[in-house]
Amino acid sequence: MSEETPHLVLADDDETVRNLLTMQAERGGFTVQSGENGAEALDLVNEDTDVVLLDLQMPVLDGFGALERLAQEHPGLPAVVLTSVDETSDAVRAMKLGALDYLTKPFDPEELLAVLRNARRLRAAERENEQLREAIGGKGPAVEIVADSESMQEVVAQATKVASLDSTILLTGESGVGKGMLARHIHANSGRRDQSFVTVSCPTLPRELLESELFGHEKGAFTGAVRRRRGKIEMARGGTLFLDEIGDLPIDLQPKLLNVLQERQFQRLGGEESLEADVRIIAATNLDLEQRMKEGQFREDLFYRLSVIPIEVPPLRERLEELRGLSDAMLKRIAQRGGRRNVKLSRETVAAMQAYDWPGNVRQLENVLERSAAFCEGGVVELKDLPGAVRGSEPSGRVPAGIGGIALSDLERESLIQTLKLCNGNKAETARRLEITEKSVYNKLKRHGLM
């Protein structure tokens, strides 16, 4: 068990009981924060909380309501409840809502500490398991990537070739094209393959939490930081750190990441000690970082540090010849994951899928296949099992009639011109409406001589 001081959040509307609980828990080595009701207690709970202690009968939000919210907002966090000696039905209800244990009033101080320490041990074990699951996820055999198209064969060849280097790699491409899988392929073929592959999704966390997630923090670094916490850079030590959607990294955190890339050192939030950053960094984005630099949202020096080796992953619509192989591999994984037999695609289904442009790319394909496999009968996905938009029975309304025989390049050029006019020349909005990246807009404009 960690030697860090355990953190308890407790709630009781009786001030005398609350003070007594606090005194006993502190005597047992806990740091304590308390509230008068469940709502106040939940506001105090954070990633460093070890145990929550709740009275069941409280105003505003009682212990039962707090247990329900804890299960949703902080799954795995152990909770202990306090109940009257003659209210065993309340204790049973609380246990069904996820409470780990219960104590009756008046409570025995030694029993209180024993229950809290047991809950704390479970929490420590769960944290260790989470870190192990995250680390183990990056080890094992090479990732299987379907590359039946010439463009993807070139991408995989590039990725395999540079995997043995320790250089930073920037993967670009539309959302859902498979940048994360390619990053795992690079890790699995590198000299760091036996160490951790750790992912940080930059857009999913607010700025304050993202900084702590990346660099970790020291005890007391901010309100609620009751213990030292390792960040993802430390967790990836010796392995690979995958920074997904790096274009969304807040501008004020970018100098800190730049320092990691340049000096191979970092400091925990609130700390003074410089720590070694022994990681290989792979970043990915679906944004046009050069445009973000022009807008002042991305540092130029960080861009060049990240893009030592840039690799662009093409969208699925530009490699439809591998759709069949991708689908077969995905259906096999779906079957294994669900513990059911594998299903096949009918000829008509494949034809319809190859006629669709897949704006959500490989991620959308997997979602469609999982849905269709669940509804199909007889082990074959028929045309009727596909979503309407994919099988073509629900036109989007964006494609005009009477375009047969017109060259695709002419259609693309005209689409660019008209969409740019519609968006008053705004290339970011043009990219959004055409469901491509800003970089693709610039490339297509250059190719058609429009800029």
pTM of the model: 0.63
HSE-up of residue 40 (Cα within 13 Å, Cβ side): 14
pLDDT (tens digit, 9 = 90+) per residue, 218-245?
888 877 677 778 889 999 999 999 999 9
Query: What is the average pLDDT across 161-189?
Result: 94
Q: Which CATH architecture has domain 317-391?
A: Orthogonal Bundle (1.10)
Give dist(CA 219, CA 235) in Å, integer: 18
Listed in sequence order, the DSSP H helices in 237-356 are: 254-263, 289-294, 300-306, 323-338, 347-354
Locate the domains of the chain by residue range.
7-135, 150-314, 317-391, 408-447
pLDDT (tens digit, 9 = 90+) per residue, 279-337?
999 999 999 999 999 999 999 999 999 999 999 999 999 999 999 999 999 998 888 87
Cβ neighbours around 438 below 10 Å, total = 20
Domain 408-447 fold: Arc Repressor Mutant, subunit A (1.10.10)
The per-residue pLDDT of the chain, averaged, comes to: 85
Listed in sequence order, the DSSP H helices in 28-84 are: 38-44, 63-73
pLDDT (tens digit, 9 = 90+) per residue, 112-153?
999 999 888 888 777 666 655 554 444 444 467 888 889 999
Q: Which two tokens stand for residue 152?
A: 């993807």
Cβ neighbours around 272 below 10 Å, total = 7
Q: Which CATH architecture has domain 150-314?
A: 3-Layer(aba) Sandwich (3.40)
Query: What is the average pLDDT across 182-194?
Result: 93
pLDDT (tens digit, 9 = 90+) per residue, 199-223?
998 887 777 788 888 998 888 887 7
Q: Which two tokens stand for residue 62?
A: 């009682």
Give dist(CA 71, CA 184) in Å, integer: 32
Domains 150-314 and 317-391 share a fold: no
pLDDT (tens digit, 9 = 90+) per residue, 50-104?
999 999 999 999 999 999 988 888 888 899 999 886 677 888 888 888 888 888 8
Q: CB–CB of 239/278 below 8 Å?
A: no
Give dist(CA 389, CA 305) in Å, integer: 41
Q: In terms of residues, how long is the chain?
A: 451
Q: CB–CB of 39/84 below 8 Å?
A: no
Q: What per-residue confidence (pLDDT) applies to 275?
A: 93
Please choose, from the candidates 401, 284, 408, the residue with its C-alpha nearest in 3D space to the C-alpha of residue 357. 408
Confidence of residue 406 (pLDDT cuts 50, 70, 90): low
Give dist(CA 90, CA 344) in Å, integer: 52
Q: What is the CATH number of domain 7-135?
A: 3.40.50.2300
pLDDT (tens digit, 9 = 90+) per residue, 408-448?
666 777 788 888 877 777 787 787 778 787 777 877 877 77
